[in-house]
Structure formats: structure tokens, C-alpha cells
Amino acid sequence: MRFIKLSLALLAVTITFAYLSGCNSAEQTTAKLAYNQGDYVKAETEFAKETTQNPQNEEAWFYLAMSRAQLGKVDGVQVAMKEYKKIGKNSFNGELTQAWGTMYDKGYKNYEEGEKSAKTGKDEDAIKLFQNSLASFEIAYALLPDSAFVKDNVAALNSRINTILVKPTIDKGVELEKQGNYEGAIGEYNKGLEKVGKNSAAYEVIIYNISLANLKWGEKLREAAPDGTEYKDKYSAALPYLEELTSSKDKDNQLNAYELLIQVYANLGMNDKAQDAIKRRDELKAQNK
């Protein structure tokens, strides 16, 4: 996972009002004072009142978004920013850029610290830091939805968090597999699969483990009953996962999938597909030389 580091570290954590303009309503004046004092709950309440009674108050919409950003209310930021943009003046572009940069830097710093914790095996600390990073990036993206790379950061962090969260489940599955308890192992892997999306780094690891456990289970059944056909059910269970892995972006994962598919197709009487798998495997091996 590679994030863009920005040179915005010296930006202020909060935006303050440089002046109190004339003709403010009581709500707006109270909201501004609360915001400058760091009372973002009260500021949000008062700015919300002001936007209700004066929907064209651009400043109120903008600082309603800023108040919600400080409170970590992503959906609320999105709503307020949409109304701010709708007015069309964009009078607070400088302040918006500053707020976005502050949130991005907070996200990046927590991400870096999270990686340090992960490398030293402090998974709980890493998850907390990654979650803090995620919260900051989500706010940054809500402030500037055009910053597509921030959206990529959010997706990558969700994947990173899920990978750490499912690690104990995967480890337990591997241990059960070593004990020959393939049913139990597959059960653990499926628990892990429920917690990750297809874009997660852990997803392909889990479906490969499910496939391999099914094949080992099938072999165990065949050894116990050489003339039986029950083992084919386990090969069939592995088949869709292995076929999915042939589309992996990782060439090693593709190669591993084809190695196993050759056995699966052959044992299921799918000889043409087995020959195709051999051909594709050999092509991948040649590419990796």
C-alpha cells in the first residue's frame, strides 16, 4: 500500500475566524464564538440553526461542514459541503484546502505509525492507528470528493485493517489443517472470508487455503475408501475458488491455482480443461524464468 505524502505538516489543526462580520444573526455569532473556542458540538448546533433560517448563508454552511469535520461526522460533512458548493461562490477555497491538508496529514501520520506497530507485531495498536488514519482520510475525502487518491487510501486501509483482523482466524485454520481436521479448518477460513471483501489482500490467501484444505480432505477420503466417489465432492468444492484465482493480478497466485486445477480437472474427468490448465501453467512458468 503506497500513500502520497504531502508537505502540509505545518498547517493549523483548526481554522479560526479572522473576523466577525456585521449583520450576523444571534445563531451565527454564537456559532462563530463556539467554533473559535473549540466547542464544535455547540458550533454545529448553532450553524445548523442558521442554515435552516438562512439557506443561502455560504459561510454558515462551510463552517457547519468544518464543525462536523472536527467531530468526525463524515455524512454530515458531505451534506454541508454539498449545500456550500450549491451556492456557487466558493468563497472559502483557501480555508477548505487548509482543512483538507490538515486531515490528510493526520491520516498519513497515523498510517505510518500503524505500519510501524504492525511490523513489530503490535496488531491491536496497529488497528487503532489505522482506524484513526481511516477516519481522517474519510473526512478529507468528504471535504474534497475530487481527491480520488484519498478514496483509494480509504479502500486500502479498510483492506489492511481486515487483513489484520482475520489473521487469528487464518492461523487457527492452518493449525486445524495440520491436525488433519479439514472440516474445522475450512470452517475457520469461511469465517475469515465473511470479514473481507474481494479487494482485500487476505481474500486470495483465504480462498487458496479453502481450496487446498478441500483437496487434502478429498485425498483423505480417497485413501479411506479407494473405490468411493465422495472425495470428488471436495474437489468440486475447491474448483470455483481455484478458477477465480486464475484471474488474480498476482502471477504466483495464478500459477499455484493452475497447479492445483490440473489435479482437480483430471480427478473430475474434465480432461480437456486439464490439458488447458497444463498449457497455461507452462506459459506462466516460462514467463517467470
Task: For residue 228, give the 3-state DSSP assignment.
Answer: coil
pLDDT band at 5 (very low <50, low <70, confident <90, very high): low
271 class by beta-carbon count within 10 Å (0-12 exposed, 13-18 middle, 19+ buried): exposed
Cα(107)–Cα(137) distance, integer angstroms = 5
Per residue in 158-210, pLDDT (tens digit) is 888 988 989 999 999 999 999 999 999 999 999 999 988 887 778 999 999 99
The CATH fold of domain 26-91? 1.25.40
Neighbours of 263 (CB within 10 A): 17
Q: What is the average pLDDT value for the chain, to the nearest integer?
A: 91
CATH of 168-287, one of 1.25.40, 1.10.3210, 3.40.50, 1.10.3470: 1.25.40
Q: What is the pTM of this model?
A: 0.72
Query: Residue 205 is placed in which grid cell?
Result: 490467501
Task: Tell me: pLDDT of 2 over 60.
Answer: no
Residues 6+ apart with CB under 8 A from 68: 40, 44, 76, 77, 80
Grid cell digits, residue 147 = 481527491
pLDDT at 13: 39
pLDDT (tens digit per residue) in 80-90: 999 999 999 99
**pLDDT tens sequence across 74-130:** 999 999 999 999 999 999 999 999 999 999 999 999 999 999 999 999 999 999 999
b/e code 109-135 from CB counts within 10 Å (16+ = b): bbbebbbebbeeeeeeebbebbebbbb
Q: Label residues 78-90 b or e (16+ Cβ within 10 Å = b).
A: bbbbebbbeeeee
